[in-house]
Amino acid sequence: MAESDQISTDDSYASEAGRQLAFYAVFAILLLGIVIYGLSFVVKLTGGGASGKAVDFENNSITISVAYDPPQLDSMRATDASSFLVLAHVLEGLISNDEDNNLAPGVAERWEIREDGAIFWLRDDAMWSDGKSVTAHDFEFAWKRVVDPKTASEYAFLLFPVRNAEAITEGQMPVSSLGVTAVSDRELRVEFERPTPYFEKLVAFVTYFPAREDFVNSTDGRYASSADTMLYNGPYTVDEWVLGASMRWSKNPYYWNDNKGFLDEINVAYITTDVNAKLNLFKDGQITDTALSASMLPEAMERRWQIDRLMDGTVFFMEFNHRDGRLTNNRNFRRALQLAQDPAELVYKVLKEAAYVPADSLFPSWVRGAEDFLHNEYPPHRSETDIALAREHLELARDELGLTEFPPIVILTGDSSMGLLTAEYYQELYKRNLGLEIRIDAQIFKQRLAKMTSGDFDIVMAGWGPDYDDALTFGDLFSSWNLNNRGRYSSSEMDAQVRIAQAELDPVKRAAAFGEIQRLVHDDVVIIPMYERGVAFVVDPQLVGFRRRSVGPEVDYNYVQLTPLRKP
Amino acid sequence: MAIAAFITKRLIQGVFTVWFIATATFFAMHNVPGDPLLNERAMTEAIRANVEAKYGLDKPLGTQYLIYLSNLTRGDFGISFTQENRQVNDIIREHFPVSAILGVLAVLFAAVGGILWGALTALYRNRIPDYLIMFFVILGISVPSFVIAALGQLVIVNMNSALGITLFPVAGWGTLGHMLVPSMVLGLGTMAYLTRLMRSSMLEIVSSDYVRTAKAKGLPPARIFAKHQLRNAILPVITVLGPAIAAITTGGFVVELVFAIPGLGRYFVQAVQQLDYTVIMGTTVFYGAFLVFMVIFVDVLYGLIDPRVRMS
């Protein structure tokens, strides 16, 4: 030790060796520079579409960011939000949605929904991106491909209203027996399995989008796995798709509707789920819009951004396990839990997310009834906390179940911070108000689903988002035959109302059935609604016509136009 | 000749290691709780059976394993579960180069920085430069990469808005500017670690007999430093560099996420979360093979730098 001290404190050694080190350092930095320079050529080959500007007036283009790369763009098999987002811009179904979320003609000029079927008359100026016309055969082919067992489409259930669809997916009937026929290039006839008054809303969904037989067959089983193995009939086409890195959508010159698709180019340059990274990109003027989490709001307000919010469509609730032998099968027990909580407290005092609202119903606030919002026609039962009454019901349950003491209740939840926070809130709440012991079972997504499906829980923190823009997408959730009814709730009264809601042609009677379902869900305590999830977001003010939607693509650039800001 | 035999031996060991990784991952993965085919929307039995048949999950596990191994020997990792139209081979081929470029640059930053700073701190031991650099080294080792990544990005944003131009892109991929900051962030932890390693290694050598002898013989300090001290001190650094290259290239998930870089790390992590069996297997085996290869590579490199290793 003494020796080394002697040497290292030797100043002349240090300074001379230091000079040598500095010489090496210069050499190393030069080398590093050369390597970086070399790599900068290689890096261009590996993709990436960053343009440097969110809004580009010169090229009439915008740059955006998405959370995930679409797994594939096959509309007949797509099941995820990132695919739906892209498909909503590059394909069009028979019926489409306008700027205000109303149904609008798509490829079909007009249509007729009857009790036993539907007829669609197609416009003759709807074209594929190779200039050929979109015909009724393209829909017949696509729908048959969806239900074909070989396709193994997870969303095939959406076609079950079409005659024989369910039997075909089960392999009991040939694909050709599906109740859809292209009578001519311009006329598509559909036969129903049962009356389906909401069919026009289903048809607007991705799974019902068209595909051209000769083209799909020419892709050798790799349809829509890349930009050039797909045909487009929407406002935009996918020009370039560097998998996992970037996409470029361009205006589709063959698209018929002049009121959609105003931009020449949309660059999807960034793929990340990191909300902070997106915020930074927005601040730096690299992307046109971003969602804001609660912690970002103060800064957003400081910068005087115009903050908007919209329900993202999903409603979250505590779903009970109604299987026999479960504590939660007892109605008084469930009632006690219902009376001892208050969703407003959860949302405003615990979660504190700006765009979330407390929920009182299975049906979110934006769902429409006959004329107006369903909530206006059939106001949901507002929850009132009544601890004393809750305890009475708990005592009743104790007697009915013949228990002296309640065993611990298992709350199954996801492993997200939001899921854990919610579960911990209820754990504390029910301990305090009812003296119940709650055990939290936090699981990764797939395992939570597996436990939900097998019934390994008492209460599960669940959520449900809409597939199509009709109350039934929520309304049939607790019918005894719905596979997504993972708590296995079953009542003849509920089933009867769901059947009315499915088949009733009179909108008023149909809305009444939804009102009944809403009441049953509350009275029978099928679930305890917690909150509707919303999203706060900010958009570059130079964009006009930007839409976020509760149903369908979460963001919609189809109506976006660019307008320069007026100088103050 | 000896070196050829050495390499062959190590390669055979390497193949065995990779086989072991593949087998262990395969069975571990199938025992992870959760069902890869379950999705938010429930499937009817019939639809589910169709999907199972498509991925060969309807066969017994032993058969699946044999099919898997035979595909593996042909270099075919199969089709992704979540990205149905995509071959796992394609995913690796398209995204590994991105991770590799990022990783190579990060390792270069780390190695050059680590060796230079380490040598500097050793030369100026217990003086101002030493204290200052070691302070940052401790920071670099203890602050996790997601904090550094987020901070790095914030610095870019604030710098850009202060300057009014985009000096460095905030995120994304495709140009020189896109790779500099992320790779520095990625390499920082390793750089700090290497600095410390280099410093202690330098100090150990400075008190060794041969350096003392060299000094006693009156060799110029610059020559002692270059020929004896630095060259010997680098050896331990080289040793850890192999695993470090693999760790950096595979561990870039956070940096890739924050800077929206289309690297392989994202697939590696997401696949595990989504129980995407084929992608888990593909990326694990690929990274495993990569790590094994890197270790072999470093062993060979070691022999070139240090004649003593070659002799034995």
**Structure ipTM:** 0.79
Which pLDDT does position B212 carry in this prediction?
Answer: 86
Which pLDDT does position B168 carry in this prediction?
Answer: 85
Instruction: Choose the closest CB to A277 out of B215, B260, B275.
Output: B260
Residue environment code for A509-536, b if the CB has 16+ CB neighbours within 10 A, otherwise e? ebbbbbbbbbebbbebbbbbbbbbbbbb
Q: How close does chain A come to B26, measured CA to CA in Å? A: 18
Q: Based on the domain organization, do A46 and A174 belong to the same domain?
A: no
Q: Based on the domain organization, do A153 and A36 belong to the same domain?
A: no
The answer to whether A30 faces chain B, any CB pair under 8 Å, is no
pTM over 0.95, yes/no: no
Compute the mean pLDDT over every residue in chain A, rounded to the nearest whole number: 91
The answer to whether B258 faces chain A, any CB pair under 8 Å, is yes
CATH of the domain at A459: 3.10.105.10
Q: Is the pLDDT of residue A125 over 60?
A: yes
**Nearest residue of chain B to residue A2 (CA atoms):** B207
Residue type present at position A250 = S
Residue B202 CB coordination number (10 Å): 24
CATH of the domain at A98: 3.90.76.10
Residue type present at position A525 = V
Tell me if A28 and B112 make a contact (CB, 8 A cut-off): yes
Q: Based on the domain organization, do A528 and A549 belong to the same domain?
A: no
Which pLDDT does position A252 carry in this prediction?
Answer: 95
Q: Per the domain annotation, does A514 fall within a domain?
A: yes
Q: How far from chain centre, in Å, is Cα A158?
A: 16
- Among A140-149, A273-282, B241-250, where is mean pLDDT lowest? B241-250
pLDDT tens for residues A285-323?
Answer: 899 999 998 889 989 999 899 899 999 899 999 999 999
Are B268 and B1 a contacting pair, CB within 8 Å?
Answer: no
Q: Based on the domain organization, do A360 and A438 belong to the same domain?
A: yes
Q: Considering only residues 151 to 210 of chain B, which have any Cβ-Cβ distance to chain A shorter than 8 Å? A: 153-154, 156-157, 160-161, 166, 169-176, 178-180, 203, 206-207
Question: What are the residues whose beta carbons fall under 8 Å from the beta carbon of A254, sequence distance 6 or more?
Answer: A127, A128, A129, A131, A233
pLDDT tens for residues A15-59?
Answer: 888 888 888 889 888 988 888 888 888 777 766 656 668 899 999
Q: Per the domain annotation, does A94 fall within a domain?
A: yes
Instruction: Choose the closest CB to A243 out of B84, B94, B222.
Output: B94
Q: What is the spatial distance between Cα A505 and Cα A524, in angstroms, rounded to a whole number? A: 27
Which pLDDT does position B309 carry in this prediction?
Answer: 65
Are A559 and A545 a contacting pair, CB within 8 Å?
Answer: yes
Q: Is the dihedral of CA B241, B245, B248, B250 positive or negative?
A: negative
Are A238 and A221 a contacting pair, CB within 8 Å?
Answer: no
- Among A64-73, A411-420, B300-309, where is mean pLDDT lowest? B300-309
Which pLDDT does position A10 carry in this prediction?
Answer: 63
Q: What is the spatial distance between Cα A387 and Cα A172, in angstroms, rounded to a whole number? A: 54
| Share above pLDDT 90 across residues of chain A, in percent, rounded to a whole number | 68
Q: Is the dihedral of CA B174, B176, B182, B183 positive or negative?
A: positive
- Which two structure tokens, joined as six digits, stand for A467? 């597939």
pLDDT tens for residues A429-475?
Answer: 999 999 999 999 999 888 888 899 889 999 999 999 998 889 999 99
Instruction: Choose the closest CB to A274 out of B82, B211, B257.
Output: B257
Element at A548 (helix H, strand E): strand A547-548
Q: Pick the closest to residue B93 from A249, A242, A65 (CA basis).
A: A242
**Nearest residue of chain A to residue B271 (CA atoms):** A446
Q: What is the spatial distance between Cα A545 and Cα A541, in angstroms, rounded to a whole number? A: 10
Q: Considering only residues 481 to 500 of chain A, which have any Cβ-Cβ distance to chain B shorter than 8 Å? A: 482-484, 486
Instruction: Choose the closest CB to B85 out of A31, A74, A274.
Output: A74
Q: Based on the domain organization, do A294 and A346 belong to the same domain?
A: no
- Kindly list the domain boundaries of chain B, sorted by start residue: 99-311
- What is the gyration radius of the CA atoms in chain A, in angstroms? 28
Residue A407 CB coordination number (10 Å): 11
- Which two structure tokens, joined as six digits, stand for B174? 């495709």
**CB-CB neighbors (< 8 A) of A484 in chain B:** 41-42
Which pLDDT does position A567 carry in this prediction?
Answer: 59
The answer to whether A43 faces chain B, any CB pair under 8 Å, is yes
Which pLDDT does position A4 carry in this prediction?
Answer: 46
Instruction: Choose the closest CB to B34 out of A154, A271, A447.
Output: A447
Q: What is the spatial distance between Cα B207 and Cα A266, in angstroms, rounded to a whole number? A: 64
Q: How close does chain A come to B144, measured CA to CA in Å? A: 17
Q: What is the spatial distance between Cα B268 and Cα B262, in angstroms, rounded to a whole number? A: 12
Q: How close does chain A come to B139, measured CA to CA in Å? A: 23
Which pLDDT does position A68 carry in this prediction?
Answer: 87
Q: Which residues pair with A117 in a beta bridge?
A: A191
- What are the C-alpha distances in Å from B287 to residues A411, A415, A489, B21, B243? 38, 27, 46, 10, 11
- The total domain count for chain A is 3
Q: Based on the domain organization, do A51 and A101 belong to the same domain?
A: no
Per-residue confidence band for A5, with pLDDT thresholds at 50, 70 and 90: very low
Q: Based on the domain organization, do A516 and A390 belong to the same domain?
A: yes
- Among A69-83, A403-417, B114-128, B290-304, where is mean pLDDT lowest? B290-304
Domain that holds residue A213: 81-228
Mapped onto helix, strand or coil, the DSSP state of residue A119 is strand
Q: Which residues pair with B79 in a beta bridge?
A: B87
Size of interface A-B (CB pairs under 8 A): 270
**CB-CB neighbors (< 8 A) of A443 in chain B:** 33-34
Homologous superfamily of domain range B99-311: MetI-like (1.10.3720.10)
Which pLDDT does position A455 carry in this prediction?
Answer: 92
Q: What is the spatial distance between Cα A94 and Cα A106, in angstroms, rounded to a whole number? A: 5
Q: Based on the domain organization, do A501 and A555 belong to the same domain?
A: no
Which pLDDT does position A8 carry in this prediction?
Answer: 45
**CB-CB neighbors (< 8 A) of A17 in chain B:** 123, 221-222, 224-225, 229
Q: Which residues pair with A309 in a beta bridge?
A: A536
Q: What is the spatial distance between Cα A331 and Cα A525, in angstroms, rounded to a whole number? A: 7
Q: Considering only residues 132 to 161 of chain A, which have any Cβ-Cβ distance to chain B shorter than 8 Å? A: 149-157
Q: How far from chain centre, in Å, is Cα A389?
A: 38
**Nearest residue of chain B to residue A415 (CA atoms):** B273
Per-residue confidence band for A106, with pLDDT thresholds at 50, 70 and 90: very high
Tell me if A446 and B35 make a contact (CB, 8 A cut-off): yes
Mean pLDDT in order along chain B per 10 residues (312 residues) = 77 91 91 80 79 84 90 86 79 87 89 91 88 92 88 88 82 84 91 93 88 86 84 85 79 84 85 87 89 82 71 52
